[in-house]
Copies of this chain bind each other. A is one copy, B any other.
Amino acid sequence: MSSIGSCPLRDKTGSDGRYLRMELTCRSCNENGYGSAPSRAITLQVQSCVVACAEIVDDMCEKAKSQIAIRFKDMRGVEVFDLTLRRQLQWLGPVESDELATFPKVGVFGIALIGVIFWNIKKVSGGGGGGGGGADNLPADDFDEELFKEKLRERRAKPAHVCSSFFLVPAMSCKCFAAMVPSGPLVPHTIERRAVGPNDVAIDIKYAGICHSDVHQARDEWAAGIFPMVPGHEIAGLVTAVGPSVTSFKVGDKVGVGCMVDSCRECQSCKEGDENYCESGAVMTYNGKHKYKHCMEHTEDGGTPTYGGYSQSIVVDKGYVCRIPDNLDLAGAAPLLCAGITVFSPMAHNGLKAGQKLGVAGLGGLGAMAVMIGKAWGCEVTVISRSENKRAEAMSELKADKFVVMANDEDVKAAANSLDMIIDTIAAKHDIPTYLNFLKKDGKFVMVGVPPEPVSFHAFNIIPKRKTITGSMIGGIRETQEMLDFCGKHNIICPYELISGDKITEAYDRVVKSDVKYRFVIDTATF
């Protein structure tokens, strides 16, 4: 074939000649003059006919090119895109043959997708067979033009493809505070944020809450941390840019990012919206790695590290960004992204109802959020505390209905068999059976705090009234949005103490001593 020498794909197959990766661009964006930013990078398992096809496409008339429709599924559902293979196919680097092993993870739909791509490309190429075929074979007999036109019609009947906020934002550096070494002080530092990809939302971070787990991780008290570490997973800010496939956010929106910035997107948990329980592991907002191949920051050695909210900007896939209601104070909303969702999720998941009686054990940031959300939920809220000294704040400031002091036998006796659910936020050793005794029949004891030691109970504590002990870990993205909407509706923010970047190290010591009501929030304008 005359054009074979000029085909940009010809030398791009993998080392074993079976893989190639190509980018596809959105034709409507293109036609509207928005350039040719890739909307999707797809790895194809190459067969000889496809290599031929690619060569042919490169050489082909526009009409033939336009007949390639690709149906693909993203996190949020199925869309039909009208795509054309660009003449300037871009090679994204060598593809290791171990990618074959990743195909099964794609799932049945993924396999079907690849089948569809092949099918369409085969139509264009006029069928299989090494290197054979040419433009004169087009359109192939079995190419379903009617179906294709119908899909295009459907597509066009929908609201126009939103490309108004489409522009290219290159990678750029930003100021942050980081622990340069384990247990080191939090000091000014600079990190790079990635270019805004098609599904990305770029955020100007205004505030970041300090979560107790930030302290644990910056002090490297858990698994081996990645340093320098930029903590922060209670992020609130404003959108500064969105990628061309983002329709749910626009520049200027108030948004938040919580504990995760990515997940496998394929497991049962991800499919159910429980990305926090991703079976392959969510990519944590900091101290994690962009480990999934679908991510632009994925690298051959496991992905670039993630850096959190103690910084002035972040770029996050739209699937992991939530909208903060306009009426909420942005600084006070930041802690909702971890503390808020951590207590909201088990209330929702375990079916708490208005009118029920909710116990909240422990009155730190999580406990305070649980009281406020529980009240807004329509529950009678009982704070269960180890000492008397938080009674006033619980009752007056947080509007709890009752206050039980564990050291007070009368309190304990009166509260027996009275609660439908207890959100246990205590991260220290405590005696579970005493708390279980506060529950009614079918009562639920939800652990969201992690005591360092094992806890124990007797089967008799749960069997005779069919009680339940369960745990909960932050929440999924959809649930986080529900929580934010709920807080917006009820005007709930977390009470906070605003600090500048140079006070983070000091704040950490106070967090450890529980000397804060109820969250430190960092003002990133001070960086």
Residues of A at the B interface (CB closer than 8 Å) are 268-269, 274, 277, 279, 349, 441-442, 447-451, 453-460, 462-473
Contacts and interface: CB of A to CB of B under 8 A. Distances in A.
Contact of A441 (B277, B448, B462, B467): B277
Contacts of A448: 463
Contacts of A269: 441
Given A469-B469, A470-B468, A449 B459 contact: yes
A206 B473 CA distance: 53
Contact of A454 (B279, B451, B456, B463): B456
A454 B461 CA distance: 9
B472 A447 contact: no
Contacts of A449: 459
Contacts of A458: 453-455
Given A277-B464, A277-B466, A349-B466, A459 B471 contact: yes
In the complex, the count of this chain's copies comes to: 2
Nearest to A468: B470
A442 B267 CA distance: 14
A147 to B, nearest CB: 34
A223 to B, nearest CB: 12
A457 B459 contact: no
A454 B436 CA distance: 14
B466 A462 contact: no
Given A447-B459, A450-B463, A455-B456, A441 B274 contact: yes
Contacts of A268: 441
A2 to B, nearest CB: 57
B466 A468 contact: no
A277 B465 contact: yes
Nearest to A417: B279
A463 B453 CA distance: 14
Contact of A459 (B279, B349, B451, B463): B451
A465 B269 CA distance: 10
Most buried by B among A442, A447, A466: A466
B471 A466 contact: yes
Most buried by B among A455, A458, A463: A463
A456 B459 contact: no
A457 B460 contact: no
Given A447-B463, A454-B458, A455-B457, 20 more contacts: A277-B441, A277-B465, A447-B459, A448-B463, A451-B459, A454-B456, A454-B457, A455-B459, A462-B469, A462-B470, A462-B471, A463-B473, A464-B471, A466-B470, A466-B471, A466-B472, A466-B473, A467-B471, A468-B470, A469-B470
Contacts of A465: 277
Nearest to A350: B468
A455 B448 CA distance: 20
Top 10 A-B pairs, shortest CB-CB distance: A463-B471, A462-B471, A456-B456, A468-B470, A450-B459, A454-B456, A469-B469, A454-B458, A277-B441, A463-B473
A454 B442 CA distance: 20
11 contacts: A277-B441, A277-B464, A277-B466, A451-B459, A453-B458, A454-B457, A455-B457, A463-B472, A464-B471, A466-B470, A468-B469
A473 B448 CA distance: 27
A344 to B, nearest CB: 14
A402 B142 CA distance: 48
Contacts of A454: 456-458
Contacts of A464: 277, 471, 473
